[in-house]
A and B are shown apart, each in its own frame.
Chain A
């Protein structure tokens, strides 16, 4: 039997506002426990929430970038439940009037663009963090995270494979990075995902199968593995005539299995109701347009432009846009040198590698894109060879100097003077008479060796084509 897998995602993205959703506490990651909290975010009796305008702006940005309707009126609700990391006994979220509704995101899957519907984007506060100390049998609570703003993005049941889910998440991550609303560091928990999954026989029409929820996946790898595992598990169950129970499961990353946490039968009643401490939010249309016009070019548009206008390959375009600072570096460099392909090769090749070696990043690379453009120009004008240029780039990153200064300082200018090169070739041929003999007896490898020796003698500075021509000529003349 053939099966179809139906997937919907609930994605939580931590917003990178400098203060929390309802108070002025810092959101910086990694501070000592309970040093970034106040009466409001620890839910002290009598304390009251005041909405962070920046968080609303960020949610609107995500909504606009994902083709959502921005609500004119939005409101906050209380989700009531008991958990030790939840100091107020309820979470402030948006059940009835989310900030954004009805959007979509195009995702490339098997060569075609699939529209993944986004039913809502809501603003809510994060909870504190429980730290269990097994040895001392105590649990501690760190409230630094309590009240940090999150957006929850809920998709429709439109995703059909692990690949699509990962593509969708990657697109969301990039949008968040480009719009600057989140750093999306999965290892710090700033992007987390719940997966809703069901499987049905492909021929069974529009009726969905029983739904399983997998909670709290915090890496793309976990999302991919969990979906693949779960959809396989469900298919096997269905094929063998088994019965699927609606339940919530967790993903065990180290053993690559999902396991049940609770069945949907004892589903909790969260008793949602409008939070009386927070008046509704009227979102001004003018403000929305202001935000819209301030949006940067989004990664998908950028990618298309690189391919269509700059003639880059799909793969290169993806690589370049996989990080906003890398794309920025690339584009600025192209503006300076006018050579997209060369700039692309340099940025995705040597520059990426050297930055990694030197523990630098595109956000603070130590040189300006104009410097790389300068370097590309020197290779182009044959002032230095490509090989030398890579070394020059390394030097540039170390010193912060431009290519010209380094080439001059280290005397790396390419040698294209025929007399000088002839002199070098002659010396090499004199010193390697065995190889010359080999060459003449037809061993072509000897030529490569001699060329290598000559290049070495020129300290790598010889213009390769010219050196080769001279080498061939002198060998013939002997």
Chain B
């Protein structure tokens, strides 16, 4: 049996019945990585020995030796902007090439506590700024469905590794769609929880008011399991929500009767691909047939969401990245003779062009002469966009839309067409601006065989309901079962 193909819930059942051992499961994953990592390029840091040792240790202890949860013994990967003590956390940058944190991010601490097995750190757009996965300093991740195409970003490695069965799940971070967009491009489930549901402590911040950590998994059931493990109040994060979390697995009910779905006209109209649009509309019709209420709505402020997002995320990003100046943190150039020279050369040589562009944009937004017209105006618009979404979500349970306006594109396209590609984020950035939960799940394939994702967005802290509706769709379709052909062993899988 090819254990690496299993979902978490399937593997957990086998581990539970002791039909397989942690070591067997981890070895299977490792051999899969050996087979396909050259083609995928998902990892920045891969620590096979550590993972194997951990698995063997668990087997040696036996089930009585540790507390068992669904994630115990499950091999996974972390986006490389989540701090792991003793393991390099590079943010896919030259700037942090040698940065080894001395503390654990809260999510990593939680996964350690349930004895999930960390395989390594996954690739991303440098400092999580980007949406194609092309700006890593280390490795180019490619889309498991087509080596010519991007995996999406910024959680490029996190999405591709799950889609290629190199990990059983991963954590990514989502500032303006960075979990959902690559999940959609790679044909897997990716969720941005409600802002404040998952602690950001230990996540190297891009834009603090927008960043959120979330799961990337093979199906919705797994997504709920991972969310169960990482959600919850953290006194170390002042923006963390101090409220009880439900058991998200218990939310998974195959029933959408009476659920009200809103389809925003503006989101659908922005679709560049008719196939994407029609596939999501097909999904909406399916929900309707299953007893949901589906209606078209209008969100007139949608056109402002991407510019507002760019302005605010760049402003916060410019400030958050200021600590990388070669003094305490970040690349220190040789032969610099003054603090000013260290600053200049550290930042010139340590950041890539994409990051520098956003820092410059952010500094522009914060410039005291322009602050009122740029940052403050964007902040006000953000509030208005949130109010507009809250109003719709007062009448409807869920806003349904495509995740992205087209399927994965070819490498290099974004460099030629940066502004145009920014606009593709119209369906995904509103959830970040308003702090709402949103999930992307597979809902079909286009004529070239690339996966299409659809997004469900809900009220703040309705994460459980999102999972339920996504689960219902999944139970009645088989898009999530399809896996890309990467290796001769994959032939039977399709």
Does B associate with A?
yes
- CB within 8 Å of B: which residues of A? 39, 42-51, 78, 80, 82-84, 87-90, 141, 269-273, 276-279
Q: Does B462 contact A (CB under 8 A)?
A: no
- Chain A contacts for B83, CB-based, 8 A: 44-46
- Bound CA span A383–B369, Å: 79
Decide yes or no: A82 and B204 within 8 Å by CB, A39-B102, A45-B96, A49-B238 being known contacts.
no
Q: Does B304 contact A (CB under 8 A)?
A: no
- Chain B contacts for A47, CB-based, 8 A: 103, 201-202
Distance from A319 Cβ to chain B, minimum over Cβ atoms (Å): 46
Top 8 A-B residue pairs of the complex, sorted by shortest distance between their CB atoms? A89-B322, A276-B209, A271-B366, A276-B208, A45-B204, A46-B202, A46-B83, A89-B323
- Chain A contacts for B203, CB-based, 8 A: 46
- Chain B contacts for A88, CB-based, 8 A: 322-323
Proximity string of chain B (102-127) to chain A, C-beta cutoff 8 Å, 1 when within and 0 when not: 11010000000000000000000000
- Chain B contacts for A50, CB-based, 8 A: 235-238
Identity of the chain A residue whose Cβ is nearest the Cβ of B366 in the assembled complex: A271
Contact sample, A vs B, 13 pairs, CB 8 Å cutoff: A46-B82, A47-B201, A48-B201, A78-B319, A82-B339, A89-B321, A269-B368, A271-B363, A271-B368, A273-B366, A273-B371, A276-B316, A279-B238
Q: Does B66 contact A (CB under 8 A)?
A: no
Proximity string of chain B (312-338) to chain A, C-beta cutoff 8 Å, 1 when within and 0 when not: 000110110111110111000000000
- Chain B contacts for A269, CB-based, 8 A: 367-369
Q: Judge whether B366 and A84 touch: CB under 8 Å.
A: no
Contacting A87 at CB < 8 Å: which of B102, B318, B328? B328
- Chain B contacts for A49, CB-based, 8 A: 238
Q: Judge whether B368 and A43 touch: CB under 8 Å.
A: no
- Chain A contacts for B237, CB-based, 8 A: 48, 50
Contacting A90 at CB < 8 Å: which of B207, B209, B322, B371? B322
Having A87-B328, A89-B322, one finds 18 other A-B pairs with CB under 8 Å, namely A42-B328, A44-B101, A45-B89, A45-B204, A46-B82, A46-B202, A48-B201, A48-B236, A49-B238, A50-B238, A80-B366, A83-B339, A88-B323, A90-B322, A271-B363, A273-B319, A277-B238, A278-B238
Proximity string of chain B (79-94) to chain A, C-beta cutoff 8 Å, 1 when within and 0 when not: 0001100000101000
Identity of the chain A residue whose Cβ is nearest the Cβ of B322 in the assembled complex: A89
Distance from B338 Cβ to chain A, minimum over Cβ atoms (Å): 10
Identity of the chain A residue whose Cβ is nearest the Cβ of B340 in the assembled complex: A82
- CB within 8 Å of A: which residues of B? 82-83, 89, 91, 96, 99, 101-103, 105, 200-205, 207-209, 235-239, 315-316, 318-319, 321-325, 327-329, 339, 343, 363, 366-369, 371, 375
Distance from A78 Cβ to chain B, minimum over Cβ atoms (Å): 5
Q: Judge whether B343 and A82 touch: CB under 8 Å.
A: yes
- Chain B contacts for A82, CB-based, 8 A: 322, 325, 339, 343
- Bound CA span A269–B204, Å: 25
- Chain A contacts for B343, CB-based, 8 A: 82
Identity of the chain A residue whose Cβ is nearest the Cβ of B105 in the assembled complex: A46
Identity of the chain A residue whose Cβ is nearest the Cβ of B347 in the assembled complex: A82
Distance from B224 Cβ to chain A, minimum over Cβ atoms (Å): 26
- Chain A contacts for B368, CB-based, 8 A: 269-272
**Most central of A39, A45, A84, A90 by chain B CB within 10 Å:** A45
Q: Judge whether B89 and A80 touch: CB under 8 Å.
A: no
Identity of the chain B residue whose Cβ is nearest the Cβ of A88 in the assembled complex: B323
- Bound CA span A318–B82, Å: 58
Contacting B239 at CB < 8 Å: which of A83, A84, A271, A279? A279
- Bound CA span A50–B236, Å: 6
Q: Judge whether A89 and B325 touch: CB under 8 Å.
A: yes
Identity of the chain B residue whose Cβ is nearest the Cβ of A269 in the assembled complex: B368
Identity of the chain B residue whose Cβ is nearest the Cβ of A271 in the assembled complex: B366
- Bound CA span A45–B368, Å: 26
- Chain A contacts for B369, CB-based, 8 A: 269
Q: Judge whether B238 and A51 touch: CB under 8 Å.
A: yes
- Chain A contacts for B207, CB-based, 8 A: 276
- Chain B contacts for A45, CB-based, 8 A: 83, 89, 91, 96, 99, 101, 204-205, 323-324, 329
